[in-house]
Structure 1
Amino acid sequence: MNRYSVIVDKNPREIILLRSHPCKWGRCFFCDYINDNSVNEEEMISTNKEIIKKIDGRFNSLEVINSASVFELPKQSLIDIREKCIEKGITTLYFEAYYNYRYKLGEIRDFFQGINIEFKCGIESFDHEFRNSYLNKNIIFETPQEVAQFFDNICLLVGIEGQNEKMIDRDMEIAQKYFKKACINIFVENTTPVKRDEKLVKYFKDNYSHLENMPNIEILWNNTDFGVGN
């Protein structure tokens, strides 16, 4: 498992994959990422310290991901990140947070006072039924604007059986209209029952590959394209 990488092509930053407590929701139908969770806090802290040591601050920008939300990271790991940011002059931090933590985001900003914090949120799709009845995200909102009030950067999922071209079109339109940044993940089959739809992946490639040229949109054709994970 690679847990440290450097992204140089777009929005240059270091990125680390840390261990965390179990995801508060942990029931998304498509996700086996939660297998990286742990209940052994001492082990988590020790593992995370070794990863955090690798940060050199070369871009003054760091993305921290884990198999849940930033709120599931051990408190000591957050302290270690903060100390490293001060030591290396890191001015921007990217964290992931589940939508239902939206009213707690200020706690992280207060903890890292003086550092610009941007939150990514895995909405996956703006189609309510697909997102909640099939993907089982348990994320309820009325309009994209509600999400944009809290999150500048959203993650969307493309290429799953049960999705359709109209859903993808709408998601891409919303991402560009309402959000400062977006990360589009092309689904890669894993240990869950969810299947990849190659026709939809081709549709996306044919119609939306140009988004890679936009400075605010990143496309992960494979789930390890950021250089971390397994």
Structure 2
Amino acid sequence: MDRYSFITNKKPREIVLLKGFPCIWGKCTFCDYILDNSTSEEEINEVNFKVLKNITGKYKVLEVINSGSCFELPIKTLERIKDVIKEKGIETLFLESHWCYKNKVKDMREYFEIPIIFKIGVESFDYKFRNEFLNKNAKFKTIKELKEHFDSPCIMVGIKGQSKDQIDNDINIVLNNFNHATINVFVENSSNLKRDEELINWFKEKYVFLDDDSRVEVLYNNTDFGVGD
């Protein structure tokens, strides 16, 4: 498992994949990423402290991800991240959270005392597809409601059952409402959902221009950020 890497294009930054407590929701139909967690706080902190030693501060930007939300990291890990931010001169932090924690996002921003780009796994702006088909339990109704808490949506494309119109709408919303977003091309895993190769090929052809759009990071594979396995 690679837990430290750095991203050199678009928004250069260091990135760490930490271990956390189990995801508060853990019922998304497409996800087996939540298996990288533990109920042992001692084990979690041991892994995370070791990973955090890799941070150099060379880009002044750090992204911290884990198998769920940043709110599932132990307090000692959060304290160590804050220490590293001060020691290495980190000026901007990327974090990610499930919609369930929306009312705690402000507290986390205040805790770290530096600008945070808060990501959220939206997967799709189609309410029914997001919450019934993907079982995301992210029940915001408007873009305004989402932006009250979060800065950067993560969108998924290429799942059987998804349509071109849905993807067109999702990308249109992203490009017209957000300064940063991530688009994940679905990679089959241990879940029951299947990859739609025809849809993915269409997406790659139609939206090739996103590769040159500084606002959007397209992940064609789960490990394109250099962490995971």
TM-score bracket, normalised by the shorter chain, equals: over 0.9
Corresponding pairs, count: 229
| Secondary structure at 2:227 match in 1 | coil
Question: Secondary structure of the residue that 2:207 maps to in structure 1?
Answer: helix
RMSD over equivalenced CA pairs, Å:
0.7
Q: Where do 1:201-216 residues align within 5 Å? A: 201-216=200-215
Matched, 1:91 2:85: no
The aligned counterpart of 2:80 is 80
In structure 1, runs of 5+ residues without a counterpart are none
Which residue of the partner structure matches residue 128 of structure 1? 127
1:13 alignment partner in structure 2: 13
Aligned equivalent of 1:188? 187
State the Cα distance separating 1:100 from its structure 2 match.
Answer: 2.1
Structure 1 Cα separation of the partners of residues 27 and 10 of structure 2: 32
Query: Residues of 2 paired with 1:168 and 1:110: CA distance?
Result: 34
CA distance in 2, matches of 1:47, 1:106: 27
**C-alpha separation in 1, matches of 2:85 and 2:157:** 34
Structure 2: state its 5+ residue gaps.
none
State the alpha-carbon separation in 2 of the partners of residues 141 and 68 from structure 1. 19
CA deviation after TM superposition for structure 1 residue 149, in Å: 2.1
**TM-score using structure 1 length:** 0.98
User: What is the DSSP-based 3-state SS (H/G/I as helix, E as strand, rest coil) of the residue aligned with 1:120?
Assistant: strand
Q: CA deviation at 1:18?
A: 0.1
Q: 2-11 or 99-108: which moved more?
A: 99-108
**Match of residue 33 from structure 2:** 33
How far apart are the structure 1 equivalents of 2:141 and 2:84? 39
SS of the residue aligned with 1:126?
coil
Give the CA deviation at 1:148.
Answer: 1.8
Tell me which residue corresponds to 1:165.
164
| Separation in structure 2 between the aligned mates of residue 227 and residue 139 of structure 1, nearest angstrom | 27
Runs of 4+ in 1 over 3 A off after TM superposition: none
1:168 offset after TM fit, Å? Answer: 0.4
Q: Is the 8 A contact 2:49 2:77 kept in 1?
A: yes
Distance 1:38 1:129 in 2: 32
